Amino acid sequence: MFDIGFWELCLVGLVSLLVIGPENLPKAARIAGFWVGKTRNMVASVKAEIKQELQAEELRQIMQQQAELEKAMSEGEKHLEALNNDVTQSVRDIEKTHD
């Protein structure tokens, strides 16, 4: 993400040492590490939450597609049942005419 090399980190460390001072540098580094860790945890939790929402949306779409398929299958069954009734009625009519 960031293209920071060894010499850039050395320069930041040197400037920090000069500005903050050798007595307060460990405390400042600890505080900075704490906030970096807290930020990383927050970013990770936001990523997890977004991933969870995307999965929930995908699940909703799959359920909607399944409902549409079930509706289409139900309509197909009704058409087949009607066709079966028509064929059965036609066979009965043919049987009556031959009797």
Cβ-based neighbours of 40, under 8 Å, separated by 6 or more? none
- High-pLDDT (> 90) share of the chain, %: 64
Q: How confident is the model at residue 89 (pLDDT cuts 50, 70, 90)?
A: very high
Whether residue 25 contacts residue 16, with contact meaning beta carbons closer than 8 Å, is answered with yes
Res 2 pLDDT > 70: no
What is the mean predicted confidence (pLDDT) over 10-22? 88
Separation of alpha carbons 33 and 35, rounded Å: 5
Kindly list the domain boundaries of the chain, sorted by start residue. 6-98
Q: Tokens at residue 89, please?
A: 């009625």
